[in-house]
Structure 1
């Protein structure tokens, strides 16, 4: 399944349209409004939840899904945490193996998004949102040396800014299920299998 080595031209290439390159994976979470506490017009609620989810998606895209793989762990930085406040960046920066693909990036060739959901609780006062809790779940598969299914889930505490929302707190967990090597099923009698 090599991608290289297709450059040999025949004398007269047929003008058939060449397949366009696969678009890069993107996160487009399904934003679901779960609960509103306080006074906030119903016709503005879903829009607020959608805006919260857009900020969450920017982080998921920058931290886990976007960019070229494999790549160095050092390429993950504050830029991998868009929408986070300075305080949250400081905290998340100490946990980049959890809050991004930093530790696995050198060992994977690509990412495929399986599902992404953001469930939003809004806190409102005087017809304006003053806070949000975003419950996040991103599931994606990795290819390459470290073939696996990754699940990132947890909550983000958010406040509105002049133009968007900002993450000021988080409680995130991450689960990795490594794919079993193809040879494992061929030799069931082998002992001491360790991934």
Structure 2
């Protein structure tokens, strides 16, 4: 199973990074959930782009550090889910150019992701795979709230991509994304993502792991 793990000084994008993320964003005075929205921020789905037969299911799983209104939860959920969908559609389900693969990433995170294309894009698909179609799209958010506003987000994401070709396969993309509010929008600045292909009908235990010469751990420049 391929693993790409990059973030800024907080290291791997796990929940253990949340206190450092909260501190950094609180000092910077960042927030980004003022856009309109309604609802309680749990459940629901968003329309997905081309190359998909399912909608994205999205929910707010936890809010820590302080209170966050239903209105703000829904706004953050909508905005962050749109960022995740944009990455999935561009990187795994689109035939666009390489420079389109990481919309919604910070400049530093996009550069790191370029070095992990065999995980973070359709390059993870087996040779000969064609017609990628999403069969699973889910997003769950853990939100850090400071003074009634969303200061940072860790998104747990799962994408399933079905491909045709010589053999029908499923590519399972799972992991965590760290997001902060940057230049007027939520952006990914760190990630911990795996991509595992398997033949349709085969058990996950029998999936052939992809290989990589070495795993890299980098900080955002």
Displaced runs of 4+ in structure 1, greater than 6 A? none
Q: Secondary structure at the match of 2:123?
A: coil
What is the CA–CA distance in structure 2 between the aligned matches of 1:135 and 1:95, rounded to whole Å?
19
Q: Establish whether residue 36 from structure 1 lines up as the match of residue 63 from structure 2.
A: yes
Residues 12-53 of structure 1 show CA distances to partners (whole Å, capped at 9, x for unaligned) of xxxxxxxxxxx9424741111001112322332122112111
The number of equivalent residue pairs is: 153
What is the CA–CA distance in structure 2 between the aligned matches of 1:24 and 1:135, rounded to whole Å?
22
Cα distance, 1:163 vs. partner?
A: 3.2
Structure 1 stretches of 5 or more lacking a match? 1-22, 69-74, 181-193
What is the CA–CA distance in structure 2 between the aligned matches of 1:132 and 1:24, rounded to whole Å?
26
Partner residue in 1 for 2:103: 82
* TM-score, normalisation: structure 2: 0.63
Q: Establish whether residue 55 from structure 1 lines up as the match of residue 76 from structure 2.
A: no
Partner residue in 1 for 2:117: 96
* TM-score, normalisation: structure 1: 0.70
Q: Establish whether residue 123 from structure 1 lines up as the match of residue 144 from structure 2.
A: yes
Q: Is 1:96–1:102's contact at 8 Å kept on the other side of the alignment?
A: yes
Cα distance, 1:138 vs. partner?
A: 0.5
What is the CA–CA distance in structure 2 between the aligned matches of 1:162 and 1:48, rounded to whole Å?
15
Q: Which one has the largest radius of gyration? A: 1
Q: Establish whether residue 25 from structure 1 lines up as the match of residue 83 from structure 2.
A: no
Distance 1:154 1:139, change over 3 A: same
Residues 126-185 of structure 1 show CA distances to partners (whole Å, capped at 9, x for unaligned) of 1221100000000121011353111000000000134321000000001110247xxxxx
**Aligned-residue CA RMSD in angstroms?**
2.4
Partner residue in 2 for 1:14: none
Q: Which moved more, 1:135-144 or 1:155-164?
A: 155-164
Cα distance, 1:106 vs. partner?
A: 6.2
Which is bigger in relative contact order (C-alpha 8 A, separation at least 6)? 2
Partner residue in 1 for 2:27: none
